[in-house]
């Protein structure tokens, strides 16, 4: 539509006005000069029923409550210092994923005496989902809910809730644009949201209550926390005692919800898209592997301290973000009248930054539709200021550092430990689903076998 109507154009969604921004200069204007004006989020059924009546950090308007949540997430929960305390969790979960891939390969080739030259077919999306959710839930609550060995009823309940909530959060809802339909719940969505939220709230409350008991028990016994990871829930509960109104249970549950969904979607989607692109570009896959081999070797697994030296890997990730942004449309709402690129935007207008179009703009990127990690230069950062990877302005995603670490470590580890190729001669289908997230239509499947140089290290896992 940007090709037909220009970089900034107005749409009518039912009873709502919406402006679509499809150029980098106009987007930068929204995120700088008009940053405060566009710091609000539109009211929606998902915000009301699945986000504690718009009180989570992702759905709250720009106000004192949002600023308090932002300070907490940026300075306490997702700071570089705090994330470093969870390094061991990320390494351990990735090691378990690699070990599971090896066991599946050995199992499928058992009659061939673990023939490491044979290829094994792997469904990658479930592996990535398990990995990312386990990392996030171990940081939030110290629990693992995914994987072949996890069979507890609590885990099944969690997985069911997350599946339904993800579906409801990721789909467009006509009732948001035609409010009169809410009286009859035209699609039955509102009823599903209320039912799902009741289950999700109850589950999160049980996690909070469990942690309150743990804290009380540790205080009574004088246990020392120095040698264990303090979970996000425990950290927020420590702030609740001196300031119960600011950090009540609903606020804690809202933070759990926000970190779970915002902290997993981008990571899962980016890893799957990156592997899809690398499978279609085996030379790039080889370049990434050669860089890891040269900097890390094959006597140990890749770790986070290696990442600053892996410039080509970072270029692959940047190019994946560019071509397949996990959030192709960044939604905001104007809290006052303003102008964007000379166009008058009235108060209460929904604003969508069309990230997908901007990051494929031929005026900004040479061969814009091609996968070319080399475009980011020798150190993997050339032109990175033209990317809108995690939004922009004061509402830029506070989980960017966490997502980047997990994507880099997971993708690098998969490349280091296994050889990968497409299942057949045809390229991997890169078709995208519609909706609010850049989901791949066909879940990724590929063939893999252990890197022969890594066999000794892999067999020690």
- Please state the rounded mean pLDDT for residues 20-49: 94
Of residues 129 and 223, more confidently modeled: 129
CATH of domain 1-460: 1.10.630.10
Q: Which residue has the higher pLDDT, 170 or 375?
A: 375
* pLDDT number for residue 231: 95
**Tell me, what's the pLDDT at 185?**
66
Q: How many whole angstroms separate alpha carbon 153 and alpha carbon 207?
A: 15
Beta strands in 282-417 (DSSP E): 329-333, 338-340, 343-345, 350-354
Among 444, 111, 95, CA closest to 269: 444
Q: Which of 326, 185, 342 is nearest to 263 (CA)?
A: 326
pLDDT of residue 5: 64
End-to-end CA distance of the chain: give it in Å, rounded: 51
The per-residue pLDDT of the chain, averaged, comes to 91
Write down the residue that tokens 């006052």 correspond to.
336
Angle at 264 between CA 133 and CA 192, to 5 degrees: 90
Q: pLDDT digit string (tens) for 321-341?
A: 999 998 888 889 999 999 999
Enumerate the H helices of 222-248 as residue ranges: 232-240
User: Residue 43: pLDDT above 90?
Assistant: no
Q: Is 30 annotated as a binding residue?
A: no
Give tens-digit pLDDT for 81-94.
999 999 999 999 99
Q: Which of 182-196, 235-249, 301-315 has the lowest mean pLDDT?
A: 182-196
Answer whether residue 143 shows pLDDT above 90.
yes
Name the band, by pLDDT with cuts 50, 70 and 90, for residue 228.
low
pLDDT band at 136 (very low <50, low <70, confident <90, very high): very high
pLDDT score of 329: 86
pLDDT at residue 3 tops 70:
no
pLDDT for 221? 79
Kindly indicate the confidence band of residue 220, based on its pLDDT and cuts at 50, 70 and 90.
confident
- Which of the residue ranges 71-75, 420-424, 437-441 would you say has the lowest mean pLDDT? 437-441
Cβ atoms of residues 320 and 270 within 8 Å: yes
* Dist CA 359 CA 369 (whole Å): 9
- 379 against 1, higher pLDDT: 379
Rounded to an integer, the average pLDDT of 263-280 is 96
Query: Of 383, 390, 452, 443, nearest to 417 (Cα)?
Result: 452
Per-residue pLDDT, 113: 52
- Looking at residues 140-158, what average pLDDT do you find? 89
Domain ranges (residues) in the chain? 1-460
Predicted pLDDT of residue 13? 79
Q: Where are the beta strands (DSSP E) in 3-136?
A: 8-13, 16-21, 120-123
């Amino acid at each position: 539509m940007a090709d037909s109507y220009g970089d900034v154009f107005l749409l009518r969604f039912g009873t709502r006005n919406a402006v679509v921004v499809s150029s980098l200069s106009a987007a930068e204007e929204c995120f700088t000069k008009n940053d405060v004006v566009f710091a609000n989020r539109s009211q929606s059924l998902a915000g009301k029923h699945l986000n504690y009546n718009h009180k989570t950090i992702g759905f709250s308007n720009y106000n004192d409550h949002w600023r308090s949540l932002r300070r907490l997430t940026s300075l306490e929960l997702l700071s570089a210092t705090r994330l470093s305390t969870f390094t061991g969790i990320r390494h351990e979960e990735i090691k378990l994923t690699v070990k599971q891939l090896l066991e599946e390969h050995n199992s499928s080739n058992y009659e061939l005496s673990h023939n490491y030259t044979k290829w094994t077919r792997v469904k990658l999306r479930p592996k990535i989902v398990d990995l990312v959710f386990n990392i996030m839930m171990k940081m939030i609550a110290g629990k693992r809910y995914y994987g072949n060995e996890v069979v507890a009823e609590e885990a099944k309940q969690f997985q069911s809730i997350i599946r339904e909530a993800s579906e409801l959060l990721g789909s467009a809802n006509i009732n948001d644009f035609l409010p009169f339909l809410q009286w009859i719940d035209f699609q039955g969505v509102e009823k599903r949201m209320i039912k799902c939220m009741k289950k999700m709230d109850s589950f999160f409350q049980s996690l909070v209550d469990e942690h309150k008991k743990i804290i009380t028990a540790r205080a009574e016994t004088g246990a020392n926390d120095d040698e264990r990871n303090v979970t996000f829930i425990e950290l927020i509960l420590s702030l609740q005692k001196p300031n119960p109104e600011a950090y009540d249970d609903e606020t804690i549950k809202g933070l759990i919800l926000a970190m779970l969904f915002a902290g997993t979607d981008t990571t899962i989607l980016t890893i799957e898209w990156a592997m899809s692109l690398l499978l279609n570009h085996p030379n790039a896959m080889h370049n990434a592997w050669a860089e890891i081999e040269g900097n890390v070797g094959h006597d140990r697994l890749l770790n986070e301290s290696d990442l600053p030296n892996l410039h080509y890997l970072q270029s692959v990730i940047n190019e994946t973000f560019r071509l397949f942004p996990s959030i192709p449309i960044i939604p905001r709402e104007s809290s006052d009248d303003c102008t964007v690129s000379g166009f008058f935007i009235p108060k209460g207008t929904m604003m969508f930054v069309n990230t997908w179009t901007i990051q494929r703009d031929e005026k900004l990127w040479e061969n814009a539709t091609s996968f070319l990690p080399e475009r980011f230069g020798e150190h993997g950062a050339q032109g990175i200021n033209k990317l809108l990877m995690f939004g922009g302005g004061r509402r830029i995603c506070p989980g960017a550092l966490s997502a980047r670490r997990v994507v880099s470590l997971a993708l690098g580890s998969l490349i280091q430990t296994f050889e990968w190729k497409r299942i057949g001669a045809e390229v991997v289908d890169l078709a995208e689903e519609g909706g609010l997230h850049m989901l791949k239509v066909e879940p990724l499947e590929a063939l893999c076998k252990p890197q022969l140089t890594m066999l000794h290290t892999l067999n020690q896992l």
